[in-house]
Structure 1
Amino acid sequence: MVQQGIQIIQIEDKTTVINNTPYQIFYKPQLSVSKPHSGKEYFHVPDSATFSICPGGEQPALQPSSLPCWDLMPDIGPSVLDASLLQKQILLGFSPAAGADSSQCWSLPALVKQEFPRQSVAVPLGNSRENGFCTRAIALTYQEHFGVTYLTLSEDPSPRVIFHNRCPVAVLIKENIKDVPKFEVYCRKIPSESSVHHELYHQVSSYPDCKTKDLLPSLCLRTELPDEITSEWSDAVDINSQGTQVVFLTGFGYVYVDVVHQCGTVFITVAPEGKAGLILTNTNRTLEKTIAFRVFITQLSLAVSDDLTHHRASSELLRLTLDNVFLHMAPVAGVLPGEEPAAALFQLHCVEVYCGDLQLDNQLYNKSNFHLLSWSAREKKQSLLSFPKGQSLLASSRDLEEYKGELFYQASSHLN
């Protein structure tokens, strides 16, 4: 724009970072040249500007933080004039590590683009471990609203892929991509005797159109040898088929790769021959399916009518009315008294039925609306009226237990 004969160039990037996690997160926003065909296997963390955002905490109103700037990478020179070749990426970490040893403290770059609305980023924990994991799964979501870009960080409750490395050496994982990738895809390093979270390029690029029946790409494995010696990649591992596969790693030997699909997550365990027995016993089995549901019915009415005596009009004989009916079905832990241990292999479910008001009406005269109350059962009717609606009862376990204690009829049964 021009003001009073002076040309003013204003560069403004409206990007806001929101932290929904209970952790302080450090991030490196970078602007680099897109090189999807570079063929690089490793990502070297460049020395760039580092910023942090405080944890979200328990406050209802989160404090967003405006992204200060995008740091230019060394690969951007005067010859790069096409803006379409530039890409925004962000690195996440739990410590502001810098220097040559900082690569183990920063995640792989996550592309900041509307084309990728959600990514599961594996953020390293540095030298610490958390239940055997050396990473935390953080979901990065991209949203635009009135010209402002919102990057939201939250804990990912269901990571796409989890790698367990039971080998005494570090293992590299490479994804076999058939099509031309839209951005650089790097190898995932799994330290020895550790577990990491991961998300395949296929899952990132196809979200949210990724279907459960889509075939996942195969993976190749390689050991990380000392003295910068490069070993060969193993044969392709099919992660679509559950079970155990055997592959040979150059410089180490044969390893067992066990694949298990559970609740939308692919668990991949790599173990040497000496530790394969535990894997075959614990993970190579049929997965159990758990069924649980809750149903709240405000009023349920059943009627018995006579359609034979009067052909032109139906005559109601009996009507059973149930108020505040609650059905609950959930799996039961443990074995019932007197049950054989072999039967415990099958999941037991407990079905509970609660009723607050039961009334049976008998019609005294034909073709009339007069009903004779023949039987009624209710208890603490006034207290039932003070309870919230069924939606809030299902959300609060404490209110639900109090509500069930006020109902007059309770019945339960176990199903195998």
Structure 2
Amino acid sequence: MVNDQDQLRQPILDSEPDSTALEASNQGDGLESPLEKVLSDTQLPSFKRLRLATWIELNLLFRLAAPAVLVYVVNNFMSLSTRVFAGHLGNLELAAASLGNSGVQLFAYGLMLGMGSAVETLCGQAYGAEKYDMLGIYLQRATIVLTLTGLPLLLIFLLSKPILILFGETPKLAAEAAVFVYGLIPQIFAYAINFPMQKFLQAQRIVAPSAYISAATLGVHILLSWVAVYKLGMGLIGASLVLSLSWWIIVGAQFIYILKSSRCKETWSGFSLQAFSGLWDFLKLSAASAVMLCLETWYFQVLVLIAGLLENPELALNSLAVCMAISGLLFMVSVGFNAAASVRVSNELGAGNPKSAAFSILVVTIVSLMIAVVEAVVVLSFRDVISYAFTDGETVANAVSHLTPYLAITLILNGIQPVLSGKHSYPSS
């Protein structure tokens, strides 16, 4: 593992030349990216250098960020739509689905996504250093580690009812939430395969296919959820089983793309026994990424568990669930920008362009913050009606309206936090 990472530190050109940017700069040693050349050109006036650099970075960033945001938003919306279907079954079902999703499933999501982020960093630097053969090895190595990590998570899902009761939830609510969680068990191992594949593709700047796959799967998911919940009467277990199935559809489609696409022929050369070497080193690296993201998701889980202990747990959970669902959906925009920034920075570092890496962080942070402010304003404008998308209860709508100002503050803070936290993993890789 150490030898793999040492090889990635060679400053080799990775980016495709941009003719406009190259004409804007008269200096460079031939190994710098167009952005690095502009940032290093002291003969250009400061304002012009900043304008050119910003234009180059925005073009590179949005080509990655737009489909990445779509992927994360659509994937989150699948979970959100499942809770919407549950909510229209009744307040108890909405509370149970929210408790099962945020109290149990969110832990698995945060852990798997956090561990998968190590693939994003390693593959991004390998791609920037033109060590293309290592990307497939990292993908397989991550899949093995995440699949093994899923085994103890399986035990937590199976014991979700007594665990929730231990935390003080009512037996009736815990039982319903456990039913929902049981249907999400296959989703654990879909995460274990999906996140490494997703990061593998993103590191190569291949993001549009994942967006198309996720968008198509969302349509299938909504149709199957409607059939399972309303036509077949499968209730909570039907809704969660369909969600698990939808994630496996995404996994299968992405794997077929990797096998068949000519864009992956240099980075995927088939299964290799080399993937079984360095598992412990990869586990330590991925665990560090996972802890950071898990700490961010655990406070959501704590809020949900506390809400279930209040005098009227159904109302507390339902109103908090609406706010968290909105926050989680819009949070995916920032996560998408984080993914784009991770690819940009790791590619530039792999190619030996430190100024470009630092400038990328600055630009993506400002852009993500601006978008978050707009989101907060929109949410405040619809504070009195936004809950009716989830449930018909007027009492819940009033409670959500009172919580919306705090939600707006959360959206703004979440607009920059994922982007800033994402950069901490780069130097350690």
**What band does the TM-score fall into relative to the shorter chain?**
under 0.3
Higher helix share: 2
Q: Which has the higher contact order (CA 8 A, sep 6+)?
A: 2
What is the TM-score when the length of structure 1 is the normalising length?
Answer: 0.22
Greater strand share, 1 or 2?
1
TM-score normalised by structure 2 residue count: 0.21
